[in-house]
Structure 1
Amino acid sequence: MPEQVKKRLAEEIKLLEHELTTELPAEIKKAVALGDLSENAEYHMAKQRQVFVNARLGQLKKRMGELAMVNLVNIPNDKVGFGSHVTVFDSSKDEEIKYQLVTSEESDVAKGLISTTSPIGRSLLGKQVGDTATVITPNGKRELEILKLLTIHDVADGE
């Protein structure tokens, strides 16, 4: 999973670096040629885009560094962690729900893919089958009892 995310991030970094080094300088040069920069909308838009692209590149490179430090060996075999498939019983909704803990880039609540940094993800981390996780939501507390757990190691082994 992290490899797919890293690949997507690397592709976005490549596109943004191309825009920053090739496209934006050409736009700025063209806008400067139009004259008076104080009232030149094209120039100001290109400069704003340049600031945004620089900031986004910084974020992406930082995230790549964080993902490079993920060591799947350190993820526990018997507790909820990154990549775990978890079936919980939500007592407030009186239903079973299945989640998979993923990176924030992969999260899609509609598909049951929740980020390890989301409130639900954080509450489940480190829990085992039979444990109850308490999640604080805008609608109040939710109690999630862990019914079934497949860790990333179980999934890799084909269980």
Structure 2
Amino acid sequence: MSEKVPMTPEGQARLREELERLKKIELPQVVKDISVARDHGDLSENAEYHAAKERQGLIVARISFIEQTLSRAEVIDPSKLSGSKIQFGARVKLVNVDTDEEVVYQIVGPEEADIKQNRISVSSPLARGLIGREVGEEVRVVMPAGPRTYEILEITYA
């Protein structure tokens, strides 16, 4: 029995789009590149051929990974959630108690986490520290860069 992978509908859609792009565009292109490189002769010293074969392996591995992830996806729509406690899918507004810096994060599945988009994995130290907490609580989290203390300002589900 495989473990379920929590995912938002947007995360599922992004993975499906990536899978389609890999299967319909990138894989056929790399197969053409291999064919062209093969036509150049001696494969033992053909850098184009070896690079294309390596890229093909990476694409095939990524396709397999995405298919496995989607097959285990447990899609959770944050817009259908509510409550005063933080759970998967929540957007959480925090203030760093030491610096007064405010930040908003959405707690998402591991495959859709993207710190540049303020989406953190449900399995990250910060998200684990926030799950089950409420507005007004302070949360002390040990992060890779050292301990941080946040106060929870707002919880929304969109």
TM range (shorter): 0.7 to 0.9
* Alignment gaps of 5+ in structure 1: none
Work out the percentage of aligned pairs sharing the same amino acid: 37
Structure whose alpha-carbon radius of gyration is higher = 1
For the residues of structure 2 that align with 1:37 and 1:70, how far apart are their CA atoms? 45
* 1:81-126 superposed Cα distances (whole Å, 9 cap, x missing partner): 12213233322213444333234525345x6443333332222112
Shift of 1:75: 6.0
Q: 1:72 to 1:55 in 2, by over 3 A?
A: same
For the residues of structure 2 that align with 1:106 and 1:134, how far apart are their CA atoms? 21
Q: 1:40 to 1:136 in 2, by over 3 A?
A: same
For the residues of structure 2 that align with 1:83 and 1:144, how far apart are their CA atoms? 19
- What TM-score results when the alignment is normalised by the length of structure 1? 0.74
For the residues of structure 1 that align with 2:98 and 2:19, how far apart are their CA atoms? 42
**TM alignment of 1:62-77, pairs within 5 A:** 62-66=68-72, 68-72=73-77, 77=83
Kept after mapping to 1: 8 A contact 2:107/2:121: yes
- Higher fraction of helix: 1
1:47 is aligned to: 53
Kept after mapping to 1: 8 A contact 2:9/2:76: no
How big is the alpha-carbon RMSD for the aligned residues of Structure 1 and Structure 2? 2.8
1:148 is aligned to: 154
2:139 is aligned to: 133
Q: How many residues align?
A: 149
Q: Secondary structure at the match of 1:126?
A: coil
- What TM-score results when the alignment is normalised by the length of structure 2? 0.74
* 1:133-159 superposed Cα distances (whole Å, 9 cap, x missing partner): 221124421122223323x2xx4xxxx
Paired AA for residue 143 in structure 1: T
Q: Greater shift after overlay, 44-53 or 84-93?
A: 84-93
For the residues of structure 1 that align with 2:129 and 2:101, how far apart are their CA atoms? 18
Paired AA for residue 101 in structure 1: I
Kept after mapping to 2: 8 A contact 1:75/1:82: no
Q: 1:97 to 1:43 in 2, by over 3 A?
A: closer
